[in-house]
Structure 1
Amino acid sequence: MAVSQTNFAWATLVEVGGRGRLHDRVARGLRTAIRDGRLAEGDAVPPSRALAEELGCSRWVVTEAYGQLIAEGYLAARVGSATRVSWSPQTAAKPRARRAPAGPAIRYDLAPGLPDLRAFPRRRWADAVRSVIGSAGHYDLDLPDPAGHAVLRATLAQYLRRSRGADAEAASVSVCAGVTDGLARTCRALRAEGITDLAVEDPGWPRLRAAASSAGLRVHPVPVDDDGLRVDDLAHTPARAVVVGAAHQFPTGTVLSPARRAGLVRWAREVDGFVIEDDYDAEFRYDHHPVAVMQGLDPGRVFLLGTVSKTLSPALGLGWLVAPAPVVPALRAANPVAAAPPVLDQLALATFIDRGWYDAHLRASRRRFRTRRDLLLTTLATRLPQARASGTAAGLHVLLHLPDGTDTRGTVRAAAAAGLRLADLDDYRVKPSPGRALVLGYGNIGDTEIPAAVALLGEVLTR
């Protein structure tokens, strides 16, 4: 017979047939349901009175059955709480695995790639979410548009025109889960258009190379120097598309020079190809105002990728992709099942931007990161005079160049063992280089922790 108790969201079948006393048959039916896995470990069973009503028996029958199963270890009762299943086929079939020893605790985080998670604007984000939940129409709760909600797309287009100098319209904007997701979508569209080769910066984010490869493109690394991507070297590859960090290249920290920007657009026209601009760390510039996106130079040849992962938090999983208008149909067709981020989160971001909270957060973040960067550079110069920092004018990381022969990989391992998280520049190169450097991120470390972190790094380097 069916047994249900909606207060505990519990429903199963309890077989009470056969011979024997009724409380024994109820216990047997519950035991079988538990052993078969229909009642999982942690599930609450109905109160004895409710189950007795369902079975058409006295409450005493159910309490006797529960008492028997508690004694056998199938159920557990706690005063003031529901009676719950305490047994599962999995835990009975094999002994509980011993927990692996925990690795060394990380005390200081100097790895790149994160903003200041302590400074996430919780109250204002919560206000944005509450506002959206109260004002969203029932149609907003329908299946999401794969391209993103129209409200956020319009808000992003206006924001990118105003703050980044982009040539963007809502129709050309797609909402995605971040830069990697946006690049994967772009690469699938390019592949459908007959483009098979893509150039990437070397060094650069390995995840971007992986996203391009997963979309079926052949990847060609192109070196980066003090002026950014070397366009002359790009011309010697079979690529008809290239991914570039124009405003702030990761991890070198270089800004693509005006001559290289113009050369890159010229190259795209000559090969009938495209530039995919990763607007990484563009909001954080400390020597002058942020450099505008190069997408505005030729919106018909340049894709623009952005995200709030480095400004708010990667936990939001919200980014954008601005595509050249002629390519938008191919982009939509090549990604028919692309999953859009949750609609309510999209609308919350639109509200967050429209109310000026995003701009206010960025202004406060720039002040905080400038102070933190200055402290890090001063401490490095004092504690590690043999090292040289570069790429310091923007972003949330610096390159720390070390003397030739330094075992940077060993340094990263030794630092982790001592509780300090670092990154080796070689981790971002396609092939190792003789130059020795560490990538030090300062986004997610407290100001008061920097002196101790640098002191620990100095100890590791002198071992």
Structure 2
Amino acid sequence: MNRSNQGEIGRSKAGADFLQLDPSEAEAGGLSDWLTERLRTAISDGRLPIGSRLPATRVLAAELQISRGVVTEAYQRLTEDGHVAGQGRAGTIVVAAPTHRTNGAAEHGRRGRGGAVLRNQGLVKPSKAKTPTWEAVVSAPGLDVFDSLRAAPARIDLTPGVPDLAAFPRAAWLKAERAVLGNLESAEFGYGDPSGTPAMRRAIANWLARNRGVAAHPEDLIVVAGVSQAIGLVAQVLTSRGITAMAVEDPGSLGSRQHLHNWGLDTPPIPVDEGGLRVDLLRESGAQVVMVTPAHHFPTGVVLDGERRRALIQWAAEGGLIMEDDYDAEHRYDRPPVPALRAMLADQVIYAGSVSKLLAPSLRIGWMLPPPQYKDELIGRKRLADLGNAALPQLTLAHLMESGELERQLRFLRRRHRTRRDAMSRAVANYLPSATVHGAAAGLHLTITFDGDVNDVELAAAALQKGVKTHPLSWHCQLPHAPGLVLGYAARTPTELTEAIATIADVM
């Protein structure tokens, strides 16, 4: 018998039944890269579904006959990317899946500064639409601009205002929905109060008291289909009273301006600087109503400072009306968020918020807390708009709020978002060192501005051709302003964020 291969026959081959992992596939010195990518791919294609548990590092290392440190490093990378989370005795659990499949071969592509992988830098595949992909980014955006941009294909979507949809608490939602359905009376499936279900309004009142310092009676709240509907309802009430304009922050949300214009209101711009809204210029404008984002200005991230808050409250106390869009105030990372203006001047502030930035925009659940003199007319407009929000999602969300599950979700997201914000900040410092970063202390996006002759619309269009989707800052400006980009980070992994910023630097 030929015994020349006896050593090979007698030695067991390293490998694991778990995902049929075979470390011989890895390049020399690349075990951690190989294992990380194999696990990430398995999460992406569903072989490791959300909620599944990874083997203990010691167990997997023994099966693969590799160093336990290699497995620990791979798990750590997946944790930083937000795909898995350590949950004590429960082990390491898959908590989110990538929104697109990674290509293992692409990992061998060129690397940027610091060794960051920069995958396929070519043009994205042409859209089947009649217009090229880059034409979704235009210098004079129309009403359909957000739909066009949403439909444009991109490898990495940095659209601001989008939460981490992969982190939606599906198990908790299903559990809450089952609990609600188990106790729901048959009559509750009928038409309800257009203001919202009593349970939802109680839960919102308690949430605002705990998290925003706002004392509200449930009967004073109106449940709406997101802040966008609240803006539309308020605009209708104002026009019915002869008001023709609502002043807005500049820079300020293009989407909000579009809603106001749709209902016939002009939007005179009031500049925002490092202290927030210029209340002195608001007075000079003669405006009767103003919409503000005081806790975290969109898009610069400025917090309205104490002096400006006092001046704005004084302006309102003299007869002005404030619409407060508290769109993502809970997402603050350096300290607790500042109290809402509504907590300080109830009779002159229409307060609006939602769960779009906390759970998902698709829920279309928000709330409005108007002064008493506007409440009945707003409810009447809401009734005519849609007879009230769907009851079952309201009751499910109310259950999450009252059980404490929503606050646990918020704590989880803060940790996750902080990691992603830090990754984007580092990438901007490395690849775009001349850019100025705004709004890093809170929220779901960063705004960067550039000195010199930069056309941010052309830059955003060029980045989209390279597969990275952003908003040009000029979209959100009525007055002259430094060019820049508004970059959402909440829905992307640190690896993707680094790649996106490197791509933007390439097209600069």
Please indicate the TM-score interval, normalised by the length of the shorter structure.
Answer: 0.7 to 0.9
Whether 1:333 aligns to 2:398 is no
CA contact (8 A) 1:401 1:436 kept: yes
Aligned to 1:403: 451
Aligned to 2:490: 443
CA contact (8 A) 2:347 2:371 kept: yes
TM-score of the two chains, using structure 2 as the length reference: 0.69
Matches within 5 A, 1:207-356: 207-270=255-318, 272-339=319-386, 340-356=388-404
Q: Structure 1 residues 237 and 335 mapped into 2: Cα distance closer, same or farther (>3 Å)?
A: farther
Counterpart CA distance in 2 for 1:269 and 1:334 is 26
Q: Which amino acid in the other structure matches residue 361 of structure 2? A: P
CA contact (8 A) 1:228 1:246 kept: yes
Whether 1:426 aligns to 2:474 is yes
Q: Which amino acid in the other structure matches residue 380 of structure 1? A: V
Aligned to 1:394: 442
TM-superposed deviation, 1:193: 3.6
Match of 1:337, SS state, is helix
Counterpart CA distance in 1 for 2:431 and 2:504 is 9
TM-superposed deviation, 1:99: 6.0
Off by >6 Å, runs of 4+ in structure 1: none
Q: Which amino acid in the other structure matches residue 158 of structure 1? A: N
Q: Structure 1 residues 431 and 115 mapped into 2: Cα distance closer, same or farther (>3 Å)?
A: same
Whether 1:120 aligns to 2:168 is yes
Aligned to 2:105: none
From 166, 169, 178, the counterpart of 2:214: 166
Aligned to 2:75: none
Q: Structure 1 residues 99 and 453 mapped into 2: Cα distance closer, same or farther (>3 Å)?
A: closer
CA contact (8 A) 2:438 2:447 kept: yes
Counterpart CA distance in 2 for 1:437 and 1:297 is 34
Q: Which amino acid in the other structure matches residue 359 of structure 1? A: E
CA contact (8 A) 2:269 2:479 kept: no
CA contact (8 A) 1:146 1:337 kept: no
Aligned to 1:21: none
Aligned length: 362
Q: Which amino acid in the other structure matches residue 395 of structure 2? A: L
Query: Could you list the runs of 5+ residues in structure 1 that have no partner in the other structure?
Result: 1-97
Match of 1:171, SS state, is helix
TM-superposed deviation, 1:354: 0.8
What value does the CA root-mean-square deviation take over the aligned residues? 1.8
TM-superposed deviation, 1:196: 3.0
Aligned to 1:137: 185
TM-superposed deviation, 1:206: 1.7
Matches within 5 A, 1:58-77: none
Match of 1:166, SS state, is coil
Counterpart CA distance in 2 for 1:351 and 1:242 is 34
CA contact (8 A) 1:198 1:241 kept: yes
CA offsets 1:150-206 (integer angstroms, 9 cap, x no match): 110111011101110012111110000111101111222233344332111111112
TM-superposed deviation, 1:113: 1.3
Structure whose CA Rg is larger: 1
Q: Structure 1 residues 216 and 401 mapped into 2: Cα distance closer, same or farther (>3 Å)?
A: closer
| Worse overlay, 331-340 or 439-448 | 331-340
TM-superposed deviation, 1:334: 4.1
Aligned to 1:39: none
Counterpart CA distance in 1 for 2:439 and 2:128 is 42
Counterpart CA distance in 2 for 1:384 and 1:367 is 25
TM-score of the two chains, using structure 1 as the length reference: 0.75
